[in-house]
Structure 1
Amino acid sequence: MSALTAATVSRERIEGHLKALEGVRHPVTAPAALQRACCYVEDTLRGLGYAVDLHPFEDGGSEYHNVVATRLGTRLPDKRVLVIAHYDTVSVSPGADDNASGVALMLELATICREWRPELTLHFIGVNLEENSEEGVRGTGLRGSRALARFAVQQGWDIEAVLVLESVAYAGASLRQSVPAGLPFQVPQTGDFLAVIGNEHSRGVVGRFVLVVQDFGIALPVVPLVVPGNGEAVPDTRRSDHAPFWDAGYPAIMLTDTTNFRNPHYHEPSDTLETLNLAFAARVCHATAAFLLGLACGEGPVPS
């Protein structure tokens, strides 16, 4: 297998995915754009040579789909690693950071990994309806990932790790960082880092991700946060597609720029490509690819 370096990640491909996805993608205010995003994810993954399935689920009397791409493991095909990003938006935002950035990185990771022969099965998944159907009503979101986690339980999936890419391109040395109420950790005041959030069951996955960043020498500030239980005491740590997997007993982490705790464009019409830090996004992609290389392919860090 060829060495994995920072040059393996293409900022140009990431930017191309962002341009293709940017725009309101919502089941009520922009259903056609939401369906186009679903097709874009599906077509891109099929074009990369993956086996792709549409995982259907119902919501409000309509059918929606998660897009699930699969590369079977060569040695331990029953053990799975999932890389997930949601492709929908709230009703008023073009969603460049939230979450075209996560989808763009998921698709870039699928591009990087397509030539690998993983020992474990890799899934690259675009999930739908992460955002709230009733905006401002807590707990009505995550419908696609809840359906996917239920399916995983029903099928008896043996999941080694779930990685959720949730808004991963807004960062900079001049940004002020805030924190959720009740967070029992010290967090830097500058918004230039990637937060790696896990629950107690996912502590080992969090630690492994941080070690990979160090071992590969990736210039990416990383702040690990392991919350008690399933994050019930700090509800803001449950606000993405990792939470249903926590609740189902699977190890899962969220990789995030912390969204509204640093990004003033969060869920606003101003969440556009021009506001993003693509160099930061590329480093997040490099770190995640390195993590996948070690976890799914059984390889240690490769000097860059």
Structure 2
Amino acid sequence: MPTTAAATTDAIATRWQAQVVGISLGEDTAARASAIGTRLDALGLDWREEPFEADGLSGRNLVVDLGGPAGAPLLLIGAHYDRVDVGHGATDNASGVATVLELAQALKARPLDNHRVKLAFWDLEERGLLGAHAWIATPGQEQPALYVNFDVFGWGDTLWMMTPQDGTPLLAALHAASRVEGIGFQPGDRYPPTDHLAFLKAGWPAVSFSLVGGDEIAAILQAFDGQAPDPAPRVMQVIHSPSDDASQLDPAAVPEALRVVEAGLRALDVTAVAEVPRAESPASAAGASGGP
């Protein structure tokens, strides 16, 4: 029989994959939102829709309050749930949504001590990060101590992180946890465009995570720089294409990657807001819309 740790790892991988499948089967954004809502209901979490209008389009973000100490700084964790018109948006970005849902379960079971936590599932990312921009622009919106984004978390051996700053306690904790879990960890300020950019452009602290093959990263950045690496990295062959369905997923490293991220967030919680990645150096591999 599997050990308790192995059984837990298997359960995370199975649950994560099932959630990605459920979301990506949705025929439209409303169906994807419904799948997310069903999971949040099962977790016993209250959630709400926040409609918005932007660039002549209507969207709705889904927001969840996980709670936390009154008056504590806010940690916001999110992922976009919309997709492009082709494919099923499994890798981009049901995979990121399922990752946030797994973190929600972990943080509900064992809450942070020094932060309030909210979850956000953004709409219309693929049309220019519109959901995230709309949330930030809401009058009276609270600036989070840190926004943590997930986009394209579908396979691979490396946790890839966009961070505008080196040498923080968060990075040190992630490096240490990745060694414990035996998974690659590659942070840096060059990264494809996704919702973290909306926060950085507002001057609000943000980071972003993907799970990919470590040998893909250089070629992914080349592709977003307008080059044509040969062969094209797997990510670029899958996202925004008819092949972006659940068959592309490999959950093998997802539990380890989740444990690394959770360990980093818990280490950040211990330091409260003494030091978090700042937004004065918002760098990205490309422009401000779409992509992993």
With structure 2 as the length reference, what TM-score do the two structures score? 0.75
Q: Alignment RMSD, CA only?
A: 2.7
Q: Please, which of 154, 161, 166 is the counterpart of residue 151 of structure 2?
A: 166
Q: Please, which of 66, 73, 82 is the counterpart of residue 71 of structure 1?
A: 66
Residues paired across the two proteins, number: 247
Matched residue, 1:147: 134
Task: State the distance in 2 between where 1:205 and 1:70 align.
Answer: 25
Kept in 2, the 8 Å contact 1:96–1:272? The answer is yes
Letter in 1 for 2:82: D
Task: State the distance in 2 between where 1:284 and 1:83 align.
Answer: 16
Kept in 1, the 8 Å contact 2:47–2:65? The answer is yes
Matched residue, 1:255: 209
SS of the equivalent of 2:109 reads coil
Q: Which runs of 5+ in 2 are unaligned?
A: 224-232, 273-292
Deviation at 1:156, TM superposition (A): 5.1
SS of the equivalent of 1:90 reads coil
Q: Which runs of 5+ in 1 are unaligned?
A: 133-140, 172-191, 228-236, 300-304
1:35/1:155 CA distance change after superposition, 3 Å: same
1:77/1:117 CA distance change after superposition, 3 Å: farther
Matched, 1:284 2:247: no
Task: State the distance in 2 between where 1:122 and 1:253 align.
Answer: 16
Matched residue, 1:34: 29
Task: State the distance in 1 between where 2:176 and 2:133 align.
Answer: 29
Map 1:223-302 to 2 at 5 A. Answer: 223-226=186-189, 237=191, 239-256=193-210, 257=212, 261-263=233-235, 264-296=237-269
Deviations 1:186-223 (CA, angstroms, capped at 9, x unpaired): xxxxxx422111224x86376245335247x1121011
Kept in 2, the 8 Å contact 1:206–1:224? The answer is no
Kept in 1, the 8 Å contact 2:91–2:154? The answer is yes
The sequence identity of aligned pairs, in percent, is 24
Matched residue, 1:232: none
1:142/1:126 CA distance change after superposition, 3 Å: same
> In proportion to residue count, which structure has more helix?
2
Runs of 4 or more off by more than 6 Å in structure 1? Answer: none
After superposing the two structures, state which structure 1 stretch, 271-280 or 154-163, moved more. 154-163
SS of the equivalent of 1:39 reads helix
Deviations 1:230-249 (CA, angstroms, capped at 9, x unpaired): xxxxxxx3510000110111
1:10/1:77 CA distance change after superposition, 3 Å: farther
Kept in 2, the 8 Å contact 1:78–1:157? The answer is no
Deviation at 1:285, TM superposition (A): 1.6
Kept in 1, the 8 Å contact 2:178–2:185? The answer is no
